[in-house]
Amino acid sequence: VEIARRIVGDNQVAFMLLDLNGFKAVNDTYGHGSGDQLLREAALRLKDCGIPGAFVARLGGDEFVVMAPYRDERHARRLADRVASIFDRDIAAVGHGLRITASVGLALAPHHAHDILRCADVAMYQAKASPGRVVVYDPATDPNTPERLRHLSDLRGAVARDELVLHYQPVYDLQRERTAGV
């Protein structure tokens, strides 16, 4: 994280955090040796992604980061699409052609530089849940707010203290003259 802050500084840097979709299934099906082979192939593809000035690193597990200079948000998005597209062709692992896709969270410095890794992480998890492969961080859609965290904490406490009460309201079917649900 500190390295990212130093590289980013006040520069215009596209910070792309990507996660390999289906990686756990490869480990579970073919074993960790095949998973390691897949990670090596992914790293090689990212290293050779063809983006001038790109810095590539593996953060851990099946997460990688690609940092590259960008001109404007549209250009940064094209870079992220290029990174995601390198997984459009099969990866050979243990003699099987596997199609592994990547979800990419994109944060932009200096705009998101205050916490660029967290911003890219939020966007990456949104990308995993969306039909697209790339999501640009947007603070308006960031579900991780201090208020939400307080609500979760309050809810856990209420459950522990048995303070929740459930009320049912019957739904009555007037045509059949009976309760249809609650």
Closest to 29 measured CA to CA, from 98, 107, 85: 98
Phi first, then psi: what are they for 86, rounded to 5°? Answer: -65, -10
Instruction: Return d(Cα 86, Cα 68) in angstroms, integer.
Output: 16
Q: Which residues pair with 18 in a beta bridge?
A: 64, 104
Neighbouring C-beta atoms of residue 12, cutoff 10 Å: 17
Instruction: Return d(Cα 104, Cα 67) in angstroms, integer.
Output: 12
In 29-121, where do the E strands start and end?
A: 55-60, 63-69, 91-93, 96-98, 101-109
Instruction: Return d(Cα 95, Cα 33) in angstroms, integer.
Output: 12
Per the residue annotation, which of 36, 62, 88, 121 is the catalytic one?
A: 62
What six digits make up the tokens of 20?
A: 């390999």
The position carrying tokens 């997460």 is 63
Q: Specify whether 62 is catalytic.
A: yes
Q: Which residues are catalytic?
A: 62
